[in-house]
Amino acid sequence: MVKLIHTLADHGDDVNCCAFSFSLLATCSLDKTIRLYSLHDFTELPHSPLKFHTYAVHCCCFSPSGHILASCSTDGTTVLWNTENGQMLAVMEQPSGSPVRVCQFSPDSRCLTSGAADGTVVLWNAQSYKLYRCGSVKDGSLVACAFSPNGSFFVTGSSCGDLTVWDDKMRCLHSEKAHDLGITCCDFSSQPVSDGEQGLQFFRLASCGQDCQVKIWIVSFTHILGFELKYKSALSGHCAPVLACAFSHDGQMLVSGSVDKSVIVYDTNTENILHTLTQHTRYVTTCAFAPNTLLLATGSMDKTVNIWQFDLETLCQARSTEDQLKQFTEDWSEEDVSTWLCAQDLKDLVGIFKMNNIDGKELLNLTKESLADDLKIDGYSYEKEAIENWISKKKRTSPMTNLVLPSAVLTPNRTLKMAINRWLETHQQ
């Protein structure tokens, strides 16, 4: 079951794009603004809306850590924002000055692509904010872009219907007609289809277009064997142009939004329809899964963003075994756990879970007794090798407080790691 849990109606014009980080939802619109919301209660942040663009904002996306947001606009610029305070970090102008239709971070946060209406695509250094490489397609506007999960290549989609594949040096690896009337969106599943031969990775790519179709492709690439794009199948369900598609974080579900005003959620393994959502009153222009997959956001020309929540039955339906669901939960970050607690009306536990760095793996190991006892650990962070050495010498007291430790189980401080990654993103040149 999928339940509509919230509707955001703050934009004054069509909603063009929405994107999730682990703790925030970003939306952008023809009204020239970007808005930021907390996933805990869907309240708008104090520094929202973000205003700079002088024309419609077409796309927005978070860096993998969630600390930087990129937005691009008809005004020919791509802007980087600090999500904590709303300050602009950089304004990057498309060399041709053409309207920028799409932007996307690489998985390692080092690069950002921007695609424009004149067919140009720019690869920016996301740390120095300088242009790294530039290319262009033969025909049409660039309206879609997606990086492969390993970051070794990315795919762009054009209004003429071509999928074009680029490597990390902006060399064109492949191009072919995918949708006769033009592509509108594309997205990679983060999960490999299979390990394949040694050194060969297979990924699932989804594309959608004005031909009313959602297509699935199997992609492989190595520097030795080269690139291969194979058409796999077309998903049925929509009766009008499909404007958006997105995979869930674990790759088990695919969502699409259409001119027919509907949102369809597919099981990517069976390609069966799990749900059809018909809440929007105008074209559905964008859809995105939250990293923890419990939440889905859909945006529309009706100026609203709907937030949907999946129950565990739907998640199990998209996975064949209980072990797969357990593996999915095991991959949750601390922010995923906090979002899940809020969704279960357990907001009061968020603070103590964060203080004890409870991620998905730790969550699966919690019992009623450990909630009462094991969470009362000392709350300090240590270098892993040093604290393991301390415990290996049978010292069961806290190095900081000298109090007896009720448990010798170590939990990673992912919050500290994210803070370090954020510092690296903003300070490395």
d(CA 109, CA 80): 12
d(CA 163, CA 186): 9
Instruction: Please tell me the predicted confidence (pLDDT) of residue 227.
Output: 76
Are 259 and 241 contacting, i.e. CB atoms less than 8 angstroms apart?
Answer: yes
pLDDT at 249 over 50: yes
Instruction: Please tell me the predicted confidence (pLDDT) of residue 411.
Output: 64
Give the E-state strand segments of 294-372 in sequence order.
Answer: 295-300, 305-310
pLDDT at 381 over 60: yes
Within 10 Å of residue 172's Cβ, how many Cβ atoms?
14
pLDDT at 41 over 70: yes
Q: Among 18-27, 382-391, 403-412, which is the least confidently predicted range?
A: 403-412
SS3 312: helix
pLDDT, average across residues 306-323: 65
Domains of the chain in start order, with CATH, are 2-314 (2.130.10.10), 321-428 (1.10.150.50)
Instruction: Please tell me the predicted confidence (pLDDT) of residue 390.
Output: 77
Instruction: Please tell me the predicted confidence (pLDDT) of residue 325.
Output: 47
Query: Across the chain, what does the average pLDDT equal?
Result: 85
Instruction: Please tell me the predicted confidence (pLDDT) of residue 295.
Output: 94
Structure tokens of 122?
Answer: 């720019």
pLDDT at 37 over 90: yes
With cut-offs at 50, 70 and 90, classify the pLDDT of residue 216.
Answer: very high
With cut-offs at 50, 70 and 90, classify the pLDDT of residue 391.
Answer: confident
Instruction: Please tell me the predicted confidence (pLDDT) of residue 222.
Output: 64
pLDDT, average across residues 133-137: 93
pLDDT 10s digits, 352-376: 777 777 777 777 666 544 554 444 4
pLDDT, average across residues 374-389: 64
Instruction: Please tell me the predicted confidence (pLDDT) of residue 331.
Output: 67
Which single residue is written with the structure tokens 């995105």? 288
Instruction: Please tell me the predicted confidence (pLDDT) of residue 376.
Output: 45
Identity of residue 142: L
Structure tokens of 232?
Answer: 């796999």
With cut-offs at 50, 70 and 90, classify the pLDDT of residue 323.
Answer: very low
pLDDT at 423 over 80: no
pLDDT 10s digits, 64-111: 989 999 999 999 999 999 999 999 999 999 999 999 999 999 999 999
pLDDT at 201 over 70: no
Whole-model pTM? 0.74
Residue 159: closest CA among 138, 173, 174: 138
With cut-offs at 50, 70 and 90, classify the pLDDT of residue 15.
Answer: very high
Which single residue is written with the structure tokens 């309240």? 43
pLDDT 10s digits, 332-345: 777 777 776 766 55
Instruction: Please tell me the predicted confidence (pLDDT) of residue 89.
Output: 97
